[in-house]
């Protein structure tokens, strides 16, 4: 785990449609089109909080930033978040991603099954990070920024 990530690093953007592969992998993701001027962290897997701007609802997330090299389908960098605690789809909504920690490098896996196994571990690590003091601090900062108080 890498704690060098700037505390309270975050980006905002709109949720757009991805390749539609995530459901089949068991990790459906919201693809986020980062706002122009947003500083997108380097390609990697991260833990972070997802704030839905329309409602202020916050979800736990594991964030993938990269070109999905396992599938070789693009050279574009995608910002995707798998929310642990909801199966809502929020296409068109605006969200804020608040990064807590970097979990690992993005990997070109030999098979989708290898990716699924790694993602399962990522989510477990991400849950622990979000529940840690550091995770709570970032959540407090995110909620302060949105003018709300911590309620969970």
The only residue of 15, 47, 52, 68 in contact with ligand FMN, by rule CB under 6 A: 68
Q: Does 122 bind ligand FMN (CB under 6 A)?
A: yes
Closest CA to 107 of 45, 18, 23: 45
The only residue of 12, 38, 43, 106 in contact with ligand FMN, by rule CB under 6 A: 106
Determine the distance from the C-alpha atom of residue 141 to the mean position of all C-alpha atoms in its chain, rounded to a whole number.
17
Q: Does 71 bind ligand FMN (CB under 6 A)?
A: yes
Q: Which stretch binds ligand FMN (CB under 6 A): 33-41, 47-55, 87-95, 106-114?
A: 106-114
Q: Does 47 bind ligand FMN (CB under 6 A)?
A: no
60 vs 81: CA distance, rounded Å: 9
**Closest residue to ligand FMN using C-beta atoms:** 18
Q: Kindly state the greatest CA–CA separation across the chain.
A: 45
Beta bridge partners of 31: 16, 80
Q: Buried (b) or exposed (e) across 5-40, using 16+ Cβ within 10 A? A: beeebbbebbbeeeeeebeeeebbbbbbebeeeeee
Q: Does 84 bind ligand FMN (CB under 6 A)?
A: no
Closest CA to 115 of 55, 66, 58: 66
Q: Does 90 bind ligand FMN (CB under 6 A)?
A: no
In whole angstroms, the minimum distance from the beta carbon of 70 to ligand FMN comes to 3
Q: Does 18 bind ligand FMN (CB under 6 A)?
A: yes
Q: Does 80 bind ligand FMN (CB under 6 A)?
A: yes
Interface contacts to ligand FMN, rule CB under 6 A: 18-22, 25, 27, 29, 31, 45, 62, 64, 68-71, 80, 82, 106-107, 109, 115, 119, 122
């Amino acid at each position: 785990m890498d704690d060098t990530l700037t505390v309270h690093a975050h980006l905002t953007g709109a949720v757009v449609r991805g390749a539609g592969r995530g459901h089949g992998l068991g990790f459906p993701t919201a693809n986020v089109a980062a706002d122009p001027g947003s500083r997108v962290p380097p390609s990697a897997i991260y833990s972070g909080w997802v704030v839905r701007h329309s409602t202020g609802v916050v979800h736990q997330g594991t964030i993938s930033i990269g070109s999905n090299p396992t599938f070789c389908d693009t050279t574009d960098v995608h910002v995707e978040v798998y929310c642990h605690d909801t199966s809502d789809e929020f296409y068109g909504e605006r969200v804020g991603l608040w990064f807590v920690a970097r979990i690992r490098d993005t990997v070109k896996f030999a098979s989708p099954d290898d990716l699924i196994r790694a993602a399962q571990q990522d989510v477990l690590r991400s849950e622990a990070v979000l529940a840690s003091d550091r995770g709570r601090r970032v959540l407090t900062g995110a909620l302060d920024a949105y003018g709300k108080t911590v309620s969970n």
